[in-house]
Amino acid sequence: MAELFNEYAALRGRAKGEATLNASLHDLSNTMFWPTVILVLGRFLFPRKKSEKVLDSAQSSDLVDQPLEQAATV
């Protein structure tokens, strides 16, 4: 949205060389293209680590079999 507003302002403004539709489309494509390329390359070059699964409840850190502590009174 910010880039669309920026290009609208450039078209309405008096900036020399920036107040054309071709210049605005070029700026808009660069603004969307390069971050998308970086994001896609980042996903392939630096994949997320797979999380390890808990095999059974004995390895769980939950303390289901122990009673709850009483809340402290003030």
Instruction: Give the tens place of pLDDT for each residue, 44-74.
Output: 998 888 776 655 555 555 666 666 676 666 6
Task: Find out whether 32 and 40 touch, Cβ atoms under 8 Å.
Answer: no
Distant-in-sequence, close-in-space partners of 59: CB < 8 Å, separation ≥ 6: none
Q: How many angstroms from the chain centroid is the CA of residue 55?
A: 32
State pTM to two decimals: 0.44
Q: What is the CA radius of gyration of the chain?
A: 28
Parse the chain into domains and list their residue ranges: 2-47
Task: Find out whether 20 and 27 touch, Cβ atoms under 8 Å.
Answer: no
Instruction: Give the tens place of pLDDT for each residue, 21-36.
Output: 888 888 888 888 888 9
Q: How many angstroms from the chain centroid is the CA of residue 56?
A: 34
